[in-house]
Structure 1
Amino acid sequence: MATDSASDGPAARKTILKTLEFDTRLLGMIGAFVVVCLVFNVLTDGRFLTPRNIFNLTIQTVSVAIMATGMVFVIVTRHIDLSVGSLLATCSAMMAITQTQFLPALGLDFGNPLIAPIAIIVGLATGALIGALHGWLIGYLSIPAFIVTLGGLLVWRNVAWYLTSGQTIGPLDDTFQLLGGIGGTVGTTGSWIIGLLAVAAAFIAIVQARRAKIRHEFPVKPLWAEGALMAVSAALIFGFVATLNAYEIPVRVLRRSFEARGETMPQGFTEAYGVPFSVLLLIAVAVVMTLVARRTRLGRYIFATGGNPDAAELSGINTRLLTVKVFTLMGVLCALAALVASARLSFHSNDIGTLDELRVIAAAVIGGTALAGGIGTIYGAILGALIMQSLQSGMAMVGVDAPFQNIVVGSVLVIAVLVDIIYRKRTGEL
């Protein structure tokens, strides 16, 4: 009897997981993230999971996470992009010199409200054009993506250097800097409003998904499971907002702010940062990319091409044009990442985006994107970026040298690919 009971345990758990339709790979990544956080929290005597460090960890993850969402599409279509860090640097340089040199020469003085929007448009256009060039070389001239983007890694990093004459460009426009993180947040009240809207959106998404399954006569989860999913989603969202709202602005910063306005700060006055604008940008990118992947013809073509390129082309999909679109989108996302990265620093530096190629590819792969193509998720890539940044941030807080940090990151990437291969073999996907 004891033997039967023991053997029924794993089978029962598998049945429950199947009934609830849990993504076991996602659960594994969440488990790995929790373990990383707990280990570093112990090693740093509780400093890792403080509101201040979580806030910093969040804004440091944004630029890599934005590019990782685009890398999912690139890898799904069986390509690779080694140039994302260098492309980020070129877009950052273009936005920086637009703000500090081109526009002032045209009469738009520093502080003009048009400077930030124009600079952002220039950066997005730069990223789109370079990405389209990569896609054209790969799709229409049949040059392997590895070679094209490896060349891009060398070319665009040095183009950025020549654009700025090797100098650090800054400070950047104040409005532009709002998208960097700590310099631009929505405050506590705005954060709670955003949290409520996010919970409402999650509730509506779960209800609509259930109705769609019922309408198409697909099996659905038990109502208690849907309720539990809603409760967990609400708890995570409100917990995240509460944590960011718990990080208070230093008193000296508040005092300087009051003095700049010619006012005296009230005794005992406090104020928290709340959710950064850069995080809202990442959320917007994640939502749009998820909708593109799941609800649009472009998304269906991307995954169909990645699953079987020959069959996709025989079915009428213009795979060459699709390649141009995918790399153009990757270029635009690199420009958005450049916006966040340079705004967070408040200036453009020559080493901006260095080694981001490793971090972005690792984030996508750790997030479950198959290098063989055809499989990948946007939320997985973002979670992968968060795991990568948590590892680096935790090791830095512990005092691990930068070279050894890169050794750990490289090892984690190899292990993640190995685990993914083993998982796909066991589930019959490989």
Structure 2
Amino acid sequence: MAHSEIDSAAPAPRRSLLQTLEIDLRLLGMIGAFILVCLVFNVLTDGRFLTPRNIFNLTIQTVSVAIMATGMVFIIVTRHIDLSVGALLATCSAVMAMTQTEILPYLLGLGLGHPLTPWIAIAVGVICGALIGAFHGWLIGYLTIPAFIVTLGGLLVWRNAAWYITSGKTIGPLDDTFQKFGGINGTLGASASWVVGLLALAGALFGLWAARRNKIRHDFPVKPIWAEVVLAGVIGAAILGFVAVLNAYEVPARRLQRLFEMRGEVMPEGFTQSYGLPISVLVLIAIAIVMTLIARRTRFGRYVFATGGNPDAAELSGINTRWLTVKIFALMGVLCAISAVVASARLTNHSNDIGTLDELRVIAAAVIGGTALAGGMGTIHGAILGALIMQSLQSGMAMVGVDAPLQNIVVGAVLVLAVLIDIIYRRRTGAA
């Protein structure tokens, strides 16, 4: 009796600051690595790396790979791999480019500039990506051909199918509205960017409050109020700081002058205009939110992670793993099509080399972001952060003057190192 009284009176073990804030150490490590990369390249480039202009360019260059990386998380979590995403992007891009420039003008008389042209082209591209992805999933799930073989074949097939669709030509320029999804040609401006930033901040704060309320309702332990305030402050600073940096990048005076001349107007003296948030970044944010909700709040998401954790147990519990595989690869195809919109819109045309080596960048982004190759574990935000780290490395090395072959060597070495660190981390923490 006395012993039990002593045990009950014993103080609770002290928690560290990170434990109190409930911050994922792996995520914190990736953020630290990203900050370190930025600081190192900023020093090597004499302060040019962390300028608003370069951060803007870095952001829009990351979007295409990051979108596909969110889908690659589901692929790898279920113990598969997709080597065809770059080639599938090229095929979807070719289909959308031909739809805009050849098919719609010929069949329906809808040329470039018609309000329906870009949306019909995007719909056709998304359907094309979904069908090809579902076909891959059917070969893998129902015919039990290994995903590595199916998607390796897809890499060869769809890369060259894109070439035949366009007869090896560069197709462009694309529709003006379509080009707004690429980045530089489609931005919100300063005022609208602040509105979006404040809405994002409000959404983040509401999410923190709702999560705390849900824990209290189910009698789960919650963070102290000061920890919630600190976390909210960090999130708010990150969101509003990001908007402020992008708003600091102003449209060049010559381009503004040309825009005024095209409208038959004279630019007022001293007039300036900020680019603000690119529309492509808003697309990535929307996809990140949707994919996170799918992963955490839907039956499909639970089935994905359950299958990756133990495929045999998942099948015995009644999950149709074959049909699940079809749906996962179809989703990957849709994301490849959306990435094709962003990539071709940024280039303002479809080119034969679009998406080349993207499959390797996408896989690397997911793995660097903490997705376990053994399956069962991965996060959407981790994959996006992995894509940002990859693009930062490549952009920084390009600004320093590192040759392209050496850039690929460094990226390959970073990928292997990231997997090694992940393995060591899982062994020490006892993670699956």
Give the TM-score category using the shorter length: over 0.9
Aligned counterpart in structure 2 of residue 386 of structure 1, from 361, 372, 388: 388
Secondary structure in 1 matching 2:66: helix
Contact 2:101 2:174 in 1 (8 A): yes
* Aligned ranges 1:312-351 → 2 under 5 Å: 312-351=314-353
CA distance in 1, matches of 2:345, 2:20: 45
Aligned to 1:3: none
Q: Give the corresponding residue for 1:152.
A: 154
Cross-structure match for 2:136: 134
2:70 corresponds to 1:75: no
Partner of 2:53: 52
Distance 1:400 1:110 in 2: 40
Equivalences for residues 218-229 of structure 1 within 5 A: 218-229=220-231
Cα separation, 2, equivalents of 1:216 and 1:351: 53
Structure 2: how far apart are the matches of 1:231 and 1:198?
13
Equivalent residue, structure 1, for 2:401: 399
Do the aligned partners of 2:20 and 2:227 also contact (CA within 8 Å) in 1? no
Q: Match for 1:64: what amino acid?
A: V
* Aligned residue identity for 2:89: L
Partner residue in 2 for 1:104: 105
C-alpha RMSD of the superposition: 0.9
1:269-295 residue CA offsets vs partner (Å, 9 max, x unmatched): 000100000000000000000000000
Note the C-alpha offset of 1:21: 1.0
Aligned residue for 1:201? Answer: 203
In the alignment, residue 44 of structure 2 is paired with which amino acid? L
Q: Which residue of 2 aligns with 1:252?
A: 254
Using the TM superposition, give the Cα deviation of residue 191 of structure 1 relative to its aligned residue in structure 2, in angstroms. 0.2
Q: Distance in 1 between matches of 2:267 and 2:362?
A: 43
SS of aligned partner of 2:137: helix
Partner of 2:122: 120
> Could you tell me which of 358, 361, 364 is aligned with 1:362?
364
Structure 1, residues 124-178: CA drift from partner, whole Å, max 9, x if none?
A: 0010000000000000000000000000011000000000011100000000000
In structure 1, give the amino acid aligned to 2:215: K
Secondary structure at the counterpart of residue 16 of structure 2: helix
2:18 and 2:222 mapped to 1: Cα distance? 13
Cα drift, residue 110 of structure 1: 2.0
**Paired residue type of 2:39:** L
Matched, 1:192 2:194: yes
Counterpart code for 1:171: P
Which of 161, 164, 182 is matched with 2:163 structurally?
161
Give the counterpart letter for 1:404 in structure 2: L
Task: For residue 216 of structure 1, report the CA deviation from its aligned partner.
Answer: 1.0
Q: Displacement, 1:19?
A: 2.3
Q: Which residue of 2 aligns with 1:5?
A: none
Alignment deviations for residues 222-265 of structure 1 (CA, whole Å, 9 cap, x no partner): 11000111111110000000000000000010000000000000
Query: Which of 255, 262, 286 pairs up with 2:264?
Result: 262
Tell me, yes or no, if structure 1 residue 274 matches structure 2 residue 276: yes
Contact 2:101-2:111 at 8 Å conserved across structures? no
Using the size of structure 1 for normalisation, the TM-score is 0.97
- CA distances 1:361-403 after superposition (whole Å, capped 9, x unpaired): 0000000000000000000000000000000000000000001
Unaligned stretches of 5+ residues in structure 2 = 1-12
Is residue 19 of structure 1 aligned with residue 20 of structure 2? yes
Show CA shifts across 1:175-199 (max 9, x none).
Answer: 0000000000011000000000000
Distance 1:162 1:195 in 2: 43
Paired-residue identity, %: 77
Counterpart CA distance in 1 for 2:184 and 2:288 is: 21
Given the alignment, which residue of 162, 167, 183 partners 2:185?
183
Matches within 5 A, 1:299-318: 299-318=301-320
In structure 2, distance between residues paired with 1:257 and 1:20? 49
For residues 136 and 314 of structure 1, the distance between their equivalents in structure 2, rounded to whole angstroms, comes to 20
Q: What's the offset of the Cα at 1:16?
A: 2.6
Q: Which residue of 2 aligns with 1:41?
A: 42
**1:82-111 deviations in whole A, cap 9, x for unaligned?**
000000000000000000100111211221
Whole-Å Cα distance in 2 between the matches of residues 272 and 327 of structure 1?
39
C-alpha separation between the residues in 1 aligned to 2:169 and 2:414? 35
Q: Contact conserved, 2:371 with 2:383, CA < 8 A, in 1?
A: yes
Q: Tell me how far apart the structure 1 counterparts of residues 31 and 192 of structure 2 sit (CA, whole Å).
A: 28
TM-score under structure 2 normalisation?
0.96
One-letter amino acid of the structure 2 residue matched with residue 102 of structure 1: I
